[in-house]
């Protein structure tokens, strides 16, 4: 029997890699999360502010600001709970940030070349990167001059998110976590992001996607296989796309304790 692409079991997470220095009890952000994503599926994680959604996204990529105190994260059957971030990225995990960092002096194409080389474990030529980038920019409807701009420097919110989709396309991950990629976007930009994810999945149908979002509107474009509701660090309900519609209508209050 093939192992799931992603399996999260009993995950308990606190802020801080080493725990409090004064010996006081840590506050758990995630308090026993269970979640399974199969290859080719789109899962949506919804919940109110402070529920732990972005903490889960960051923990999946091994962010040093968070500490796993119990449970496990398995990727294709292998326990990656304590893997370093770069090891996870090389293995095929990808995180699209809610607030992508700007890097002055590093162009998009330079960044992509370094990232692709790290992902493959061998040097990738500038020509190969430019050819692939040109092809993907055309598919995603991006201006070709975009590749010469400094990474996220002066980018609009929509441009930053589109750049994240470009990175996802070119790095060819097996699991993509999109952390509130709809944050700050208008309806037109949301549609662009949604179409971009669809375009990548058309060429890579086995790609698993976990979308972290507050709003049902992005899910209208992505159409998730499963929707999970995270409240106070726990998944309190799971269902199909109809769960997102229900949340949109009545809010989170019925699930708060």
> Is residue 152 in some structural domain?
yes
Does position 25 have pLDDT exceeding 70, yes or no? Answer: no
**By the 8 A CB rule, do 94 and 171 touch?**
yes
Does position 236 have pLDDT exceeding 70, yes or no? Answer: yes
Q: What is the pLDDT of residue 143?
A: 83
pLDDT band at 147 (very low <50, low <70, confident <90, very high): confident
pTM over 0.75: yes
Cα separation of 192 and 218, whole Å?
10
Q: Which residue has the tokens 């999360």?
A: 33
Q: What is the CATH number of the domain that holds 59?
A: 3.40.50.300
**By the 8 A CB rule, do 58 and 45 touch?**
no
The total domain count for the chain is: 1
- Burial group, residue 256, by CB count within 10 angstroms (0-12, 13-18, 19+): exposed
> Is residue 135 in some structural domain?
yes
Does position 22 have pLDDT exceeding 80, yes or no? Answer: no
> Following CA atoms 173, 178, 179, 181 in sequence, which dihedral angle do they give, to the nearest 10 degrees?
140
Q: What is the mean pLDDT of the chain?
A: 88
Please state the length of the chain: 257
* Residue (of 191, 103, 195, 200) closest to 150 by Cα position: 103
> Is residue 188 in some structural domain?
yes
- Please, what is the angle between helix 157-171 and helix 108-120, to 10°? 30
> Is residue 150 in some structural domain?
yes
Q: What is the pLDDT of residue 194?
A: 81
Classify 44 as helix, strand or coil: strand
Q: Please give the residue that has the higher pLDDT: either 188 or 60.
A: 60
Average pLDDT over residues 184-205: 80
> Is residue 250 in some structural domain?
yes
pLDDT band at 251 (very low <50, low <70, confident <90, very high): confident
DSSP assigned state of 24 = P
Cα separation of 141 and 23, whole Å?
53
> Is residue 16 in some structural domain?
yes
> Is residue 1 in some structural domain?
no
**By the 8 A CB rule, do 13 and 59 touch?**
yes
**What long-range pairs does 235-239 form, CB within 8 A, spacing at least 24?**
235/33, 235/34, 235/35
Q: Using CA of residue 97, residue 114, residue 104, residue 163, what is the dihedral sign? A: negative
Give the number of C-alpha atoms closer than 13 A to the C-alpha of residue 229, restricted to the C-beta side: 22
pLDDT band at 18 (very low <50, low <70, confident <90, very high): low
What pLDDT digit, counting tens, does each position of 50-63 carry? Answer: 899 999 999 999 99
Q: What is the pLDDT of residue 98?
A: 75
Per the structure, the complete domain to which residue 238 belongs is given by 6-255
Tokens of 246: 């229900």
Other CB atoms within 10 A of residue 156 CB: 11
């Amino acid at each position: 029997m093939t192992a799931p692409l992603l399996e999260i079991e009993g995950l308990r997470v606190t802020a801080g890699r080493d725990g409090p220095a004064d010996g006081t009890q840590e506050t758990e952000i995630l308090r026993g999360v269970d979640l399974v994503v199969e290859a080719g599926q789109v899962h949506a994680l919804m919940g109110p502010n402070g529920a732990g959604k972005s903490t889960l996204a960051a923990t999946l990529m091994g962010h040093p600001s968070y500490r796993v105190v119990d449970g496990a994260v398995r990727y294709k059957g292998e326990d990656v709970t304590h893997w370093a971030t770069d090891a996870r990225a090389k293995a095929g995990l990808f995180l699209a940030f809610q607030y992508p960092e700007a890097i002055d002096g590093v162009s998009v194409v330079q960044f992509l070349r370094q990232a692709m080389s790290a992902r493959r474990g061998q040097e990738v030529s500038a020509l190969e990167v430019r050819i692939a980038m040109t092809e993907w920019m055309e598919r995603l409807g991006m201006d070709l001059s975009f590749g010469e701009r400094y990474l996220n420097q002066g980018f609009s919110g929509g441009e930053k998110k589109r750049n994240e989709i470009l990175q996802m396309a070119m790095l060819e991950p097996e699991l993509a976590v999109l952390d509130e990629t709809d944050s700050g976007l208008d309806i037109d930009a949301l549609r662009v992001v949604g179409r971009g994810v669809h375009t990548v999945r058309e060429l890579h149908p086995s790609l698993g996607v976990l979308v972290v979002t507050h709003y049902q509107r992005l899910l209208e474009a992505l159409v998730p296989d499963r929707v999970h509701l995270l409240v106070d660090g726990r998944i309190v309900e799971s269902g199909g796309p109809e769960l997102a519609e229900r949340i949109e209508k009545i809010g989170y209050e019925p699930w708060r304790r």
